[in-house]
């Protein structure tokens, strides 16, 4: 299985990078993980709603260029469906047995994801009603993907 994390922006904090690297290493027996970064659109803090949409659209175009037609796409979106870790593992397993060899997880920038990206997604996933920094979300996502593979393979980790 191939897992792509397509994310807007770069991770700057070394402690987050170390955590990401650790979970990528742990996932090696289960999946090939690729982090694909797309440039974030520079914008001032106080944007109007229409300016936010323009930023999201520009970032969205960059994201969509990284997605292959055959990929199963999961958009991380606060309005998405909330799953338990076991339900998340079941979704990954179902995706595998449904013939998808690649899952793309999409993490937007600070303004969220463009409507075009959400429309392309096969599934929208919410981790919480809370807002997380998008750099930290990569680490949280990788930990949950690792936990999912542990659950799928009946290894003692998920409790």
Q: What is the CATH number of the domain that holds 65?
A: 3.40.1280.10
Mark the ranges of the chain whose per-residue pLDDT is less than 70: 157-159
Which of helix, strand or coil describes residue 137? helix
Is 128 annotated to bind ligand? yes
The predicted structure's pLDDT at residue 45: 80
Q: Is residue 22 part of a domain?
A: yes
Distance CA 14, CA 135 (A): 11
In a domain, residue 92? The reply is yes
Q: H-type helices in 28-69, by residue range? A: 49-64
C-alpha–C-alpha distance, residues 122 and 125, integer Å: 10
Residue 90 forms part of a structural domain: yes
The secondary structure element, H or E, covering residue 25 is helix 14-27
Give the pTM: 0.94
Find the helix or strand (DSSP H, E) in which 76 lies. strand 72-82
CB 144 within 8 A of CB 33: no
Q: How many independent structural domains does the chain possess? A: 1
Is 127 a known ligand-binding residue? yes
- Is 147:87 a contact under the CB 8 Å cutoff? no
pLDDT tens per residue across span 80-106: 999 999 999 999 999 999 999 999 999
What is the per-residue pLDDT for 159? 59
Q: Is 98 annotated as a binding residue?
A: no
Residue 94 annotated in ligand binding: no
Domain annotation covers residue 159: no
The predicted structure's pLDDT at residue 98: 93
Domain presence at residue 46: yes
Give the model's pLDDT for residue 147.
95
pLDDT at 158: 55
Q: What is the pLDDT of residue 88?
A: 97
| Domain containing residue 134 | 2-152
Q: Is 132 a known ligand-binding residue?
A: yes
* pLDDT of amino acid 157: 66
């Amino acid at each position: 299985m191939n897992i792509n994390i397509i994310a807007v922006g770069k991770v700057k904090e070394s402690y987050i990078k170390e955590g990401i690297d650790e979970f990528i290493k742990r996932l090696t027996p289960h999946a090939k993980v690729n982090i694909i970064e797309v440039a974030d659109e520079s914008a001032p803090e106080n944007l109007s709603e229409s300016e936010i949409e323009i930023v999201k659209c520009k970032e969205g175009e960059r994201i969509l260029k990284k997605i292959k037609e055959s990929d199963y796409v999961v958009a991380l979106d606060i309005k998405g469906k909330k799953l338990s870790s076991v339900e998340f593992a079941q979704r990954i397993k179902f995706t595998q047995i449904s013939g998808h060899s690649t899952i793309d997880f999409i993490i937007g920038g600070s303004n969220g994801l463009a409507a075009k990206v959400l429309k392309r997604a096969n599934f929208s996933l919410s981790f919480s009603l809370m807002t997380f920094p998008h750099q930290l979300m990569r680490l949280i996502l990788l930990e949950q993907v690792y936990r999912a593979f542990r659950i799928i393979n009946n290894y003692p980790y998920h409790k």
